Every structure is written in C-alpha cells, then in structure tokens.
C-alpha cells in the first residue's frame, strides 16, 4: 500500500486544488465527482492514520477507493498546470465538465463519459507541462516546442466501435485549425477500451510492469496502424497512444498508478521525427514512453 505520508500529501495537494477551483476558477464542486473523490481521500487519510483502513475497504469497496486515489492524482496534476494561468484564460467550461460525471467508469454512458474525456485532455496537458513542454492553449491542447506550434486532439474512445469515428473527428478538427497549427497529433486514451481504469495489474516485481502494459498499447497500435499510415493530411505527424493503469507490486506491497505513452511517428519528414524524438525523450524522463514507426 502507499505510505501514510503519501496519503497525507495527496490530501494536502487536493485541498489546494479544491480551494483554487472554488476561489480562482469559480467552479462549483458540491455534489460532483470531485466532491466525492475529495470526501473519499479525506476518509482514507483519517482511517489509515487510525489503523482502520480495512474497515473502510469493507464499507466502500476497493474499486471506489482505488479510483478516488487515481482521480485525486489527476486533479492534482491539472491544478499544477492551471494554477498560474490568468483567470481570463482558464478553460472554465472544460473544468466544469471535468468535475462532474460518475466516479466509477463502469457507470459511464456515452453522454456522461464526456467528463472523463475532458479529464484526459487536461491531465495530458499537465503531463506535457511536467515534461517541460510549454502549453500555449487548452483547445484541445496547444504546445510550443523548438519554434513550432503543435496541436493535440484528444480522444478517449468509449468502445472499440467508435475508434474510427474518433479518428475521423480528430482529423477534421486538425484540418480546420491548419492555418494556426502546422503540426498536429492525435492522442488516444485507451484505458477504458482495455479496462485498465478498473482492473488492477498485479505483478511480482516492478520489472514486470512494462511487459504487461505494452501488451495493450501494442494491440491497439496493430489494430489501427494501417489507418494511421494512410491518413492523407501530412500536417498530422503522429498518433499518441496513452494508457493509465493501477498496479500492485507484490514483493514490496505497493499500490500505485502508472502511465504509458507510445508515439506512432508517421514518418512525414526528418524534422517532424526529430521533434517527436524530443517529446518522447522528455516524457521518458518521467513516464514510460517509446516511439514506433510504420
């Protein structure tokens, strides 16, 4: 399990995010998913400190508590990238969407899934920020690197059936913004497709994690590689495959979250490939990350 210090730190950081949401972003969180996450994390800290965490697990179930901790991590990351953004430039509608929706992914419907779709968008922006890549906008994500403006269209497919629909939508959005954004990427979150947002990856040692995590990302890429190779718009330089997961390492009894990225480089130009290598290198310093090519 995570240490007591870690739980306390998470709660302190989430409390800062809650104050910021209310006072600066002016987002009402009462009765929202954020409110439920905040309440659960407070209870986790209280029970853990009292040595009564097992009783809480009996009351609420592992799934709700694990998801509260992973959502807590996401909200903290989002706060870290947005807390210094000018008030007038905050993506308030996206933030309103993000705090709502059901806590458990299995309770999502195509309509209520919009909340976590937007969560992926802002959390990925936060991860770019953590990797040292400058964020210039939140429509979806706009990056600035090496003198170039890069637009990232974020998609979180609800099922395997709508992956193509998501791809088509992302291509259209990038095409419409071509006058502003010369390089574009499409980012897919695949945790809902492979249910890594609700099932724990159990391994004996940390070294086993990449093998298991890569199994899902490789499967998704192989299923869609041909479609990505045949995209006609050459301003779309890459597809980014992202997967968040919960894992338990048995030999050290650690429960935590992981994040993997695979960049599918379409091989449009040597300069674009160099740009993608920079992004992958920055990600790799913090998260699992690799590049694949046609």
- Quick one: average pLDDT of 215-230? 95
Band of residue 5 on the pLDDT scale cut at 50, 70, 90: very low
Same domain, 171 and 197: yes
Same domain, 273 and 153: yes
Same domain, 75 and 143: no
Same domain, 148 and 32: no
Q: Report the sign of the C-alpha dihedral through residues 53, 59, 63, 67, in that order.
A: negative
Same domain, 29 and 136: no
Q: Dump pLDDT digits (tens) for 223-242.
A: 999 999 999 999 999 999 99
Same domain, 42 and 86: yes
pLDDT for 4: 43
Mean model confidence pLDDT for the chain: 91
Overall pTM > 0.95: no
Same domain, 69 and 116: no
Same domain, 87 and 125: no
Q: Dump pLDDT digits (tens) for 251-264.
A: 877 777 889 999 99
Q: Dump pLDDT digits (tens) for 107-154.
A: 998 888 999 999 999 999 999 999 999 999 998 899 999 898 999 999
How many domains, in total, are found in the chain?
A: 2
Among candidate residues 39, 69, 103, the one where a domain is terminated = 103
Q: Which domain holds residue 36?
A: 1-103
Same domain, 95 and 161: no
């Amino acid at each position: 399990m995570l240490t007591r210090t870690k739980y306390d730190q998470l709660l302190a950081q989430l409390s800062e995010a809650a104050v910021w949401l209310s006072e600066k972003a002016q987002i009402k969180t009462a009765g929202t998913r954020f409110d439920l996450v905040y309440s659960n994390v407070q209870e986790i800290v209280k029970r853990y400190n009292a040595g009564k965490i097992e009783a809480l697990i009996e009351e609420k179930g592992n799934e709700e508590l694990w998801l509260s901790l992973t959502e807590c991590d996401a909200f903290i990351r989002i706060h870290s990238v947005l807390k210094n953004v000018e008030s007038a430039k905050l993506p308030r509608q996206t933030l309103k969407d993000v705090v709502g929706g059901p806590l458990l992914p299995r309770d999502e419907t195509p309509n209520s899934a919009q909340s976590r779709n937007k969560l992926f968008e802002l959390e990925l922006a936060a991860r770019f920020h953590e990797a040292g890549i400058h964020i210039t906008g939140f429509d979806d994500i706009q990056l600035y690197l090496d003198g170039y403006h890069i637009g990232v269209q974020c998609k979180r497919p609800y099922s395997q059936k709508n992956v193509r629909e998501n791809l088509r939508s992302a291509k259209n959005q990038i095409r419409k913004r071509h006058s502003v954004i010369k390089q574009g990427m499409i980012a897919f979150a695949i945790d809902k497709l492979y249910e890594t947002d609700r099932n724990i990856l159990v391994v004996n040692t940390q070294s086993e994690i990449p093998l298991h995590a890569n199994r899902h990302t490789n499967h998704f890429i192989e299923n869609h590689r041909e479609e990505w190779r045949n995209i006609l718009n050459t301003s779309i330089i890459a597809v980014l495959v992202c997967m968040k997961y919960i894992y338990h390492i048995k030999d050290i009894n650690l429960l935590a979250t992981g994040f993997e990225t695979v960049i599918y480089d379409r091989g449009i130009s040597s300069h674009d490939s160099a740009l993608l290598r920079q992004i992958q290198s920055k990600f790799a310093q913090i998260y699992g990350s690799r590049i694949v090519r046609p």
